Structure 1
Amino acid sequence: MPRATGKRAAAAGTTALPSHMMIANSIYSARRRRGLTLAQLAGATDLDKGYLSRVERGQKSPSISTLLKIAEALGVQVGQLFGETTSEEAILVIRRDEHIDMKSDEQPGMGLLQAILPASNRRRLSLFMIEPGQEVNSRAADHPGDETVYVLSGALVIDFPDRSVELREGDCVHFDGHLRHDIRQVGRAKARALVIIAQDLSTRSED
């Protein structure tokens, strides 16, 4: 299939392509990356090979339902056919060896306190892994935002000012982070939990 060359290519550097041509080029490029022929794409989508050829040449504008079929067959998101791209900042991968140990002397009973997804002025969520131990912390926590605790193993108790909540493996609790609370293990088995804290970004100070 001929691509834009010469004066057309130069013009493309300064002028946005019409949407149907952007879609045409995206489908053509994605099909080539997948190593599919037009006949194979036609078979995977139940669309006519000649029709697909005209789509790739910008001579036909496919409907949304047709684009969904094509995107599925090509293994791409339909937005990619419209030229949408995902920025590097949009997806954050944190490896196991990048977890941050946050245990301090002020938490003598805490077996493990790791920040998996640390707090940031650019993120609402932060994620921690804890093994609380059996001792009650003399300085109960409180913080802005909401907190969710999900028990991965063992059993633990969360002490609030006027009540205590016991959680076992698979249990979850959600509460206002402004409530003073302390988390401790119950029983002999080591307890491990995920703690998710969600804050309004406007309440955070600048780094």
Structure 2
Amino acid sequence: MKNLYQIRKSKRMSQAELAHKVGVKQATISRIEKGVNNPSLAVARNIADALDVSVVELFGLPELEQRLLQGFREASPERQAALLTLLGGDQK
């Protein structure tokens, strides 16, 4: 979530304020900004909502793509096939 710090600062919001809006501890926001913690998708969505930005803006497209690809690679073959079907991709 490389853009979190810049977006939060541009919104003139402290880590404590953001943490309160998201429902996490300030230390959690700090660790996410430093790259020490990776938030769950639910927390990432809550952060994006609190900052009034999209999840893509928060992560940056290259990082989001990398996370999605990693998740796909770690999925079971059945789940990969289902995801490919949903996306309209070829399963070969």
Q: What's the TM-score, normalizing by structure 2?
A: 0.63
Matches of 1:82 and 1:54 in 2, distance apart? 15
Matches of 1:82 and 1:38 in 2, distance apart? 17
Rg comparison, structure with higher value:
1
Q: Identity percentage over the alignment? A: 33
Q: State yes or no: 1:43 paired with 2:43.
A: no
Q: Which has the higher contact order (CA 8 A, sep 6+)?
A: 2
1:31 Cα deviation (Å)? Answer: 0.2
Amino acid of the residue matched to residue 27 of structure 2?
G
SS of match in other structure, 2:3? helix
Which position in structure 1 is the counterpart of 2:42? 65
Q: State yes or no: 1:31 paired with 2:8.
A: yes
Matches of 2:17 and 2:52 in 1, distance apart? 14
Whether contact under 8 Å (2:48, 2:54) holds in the other structure is: yes
Structure 2: runs of 5+ lacking an equivalent: 62-92
Amino acid of the residue matched to residue 31 of structure 1?
R
Amino acid of the residue matched to residue 40 of structure 1?
E
Amino acid of the residue matched to residue 28 of structure 1?
Y
Question: Segments of 4+ in structure 1 off by > 3 A?
Answer: none
SS of match in other structure, 1:52? helix
Matches of 2:37 and 2:8 in 1, distance apart? 17
Summarize deviations over 1:85-137 as a string: whole Å, max 9, x none: xxxxxxxxxxxxxxxxxxxxxxxxxxxxxxxxxxxxxxxxxxxxxxxxxxxxx
Summarize deviations over 1:24-65 as a string: whole Å, max 9, x none: x21111100100000100111111101110110000010100
Q: Which has the higher helix share?
A: 2
Give the aligned CA root-mean-square deviation in angstroms. Answer: 0.8
Q: Which has the higher strand share?
A: 1
Q: What's the TM-score, normalizing by structure 1?
A: 0.29
Aligned residues: 61
Matches of 1:82 and 1:56 in 2, distance apart? 11
Matches of 1:48 and 1:36 in 2, distance apart? 15
Q: State yes or no: 1:83 paired with 2:60.
A: yes
Whether contact under 8 Å (2:4, 2:59) holds in the other structure is: no
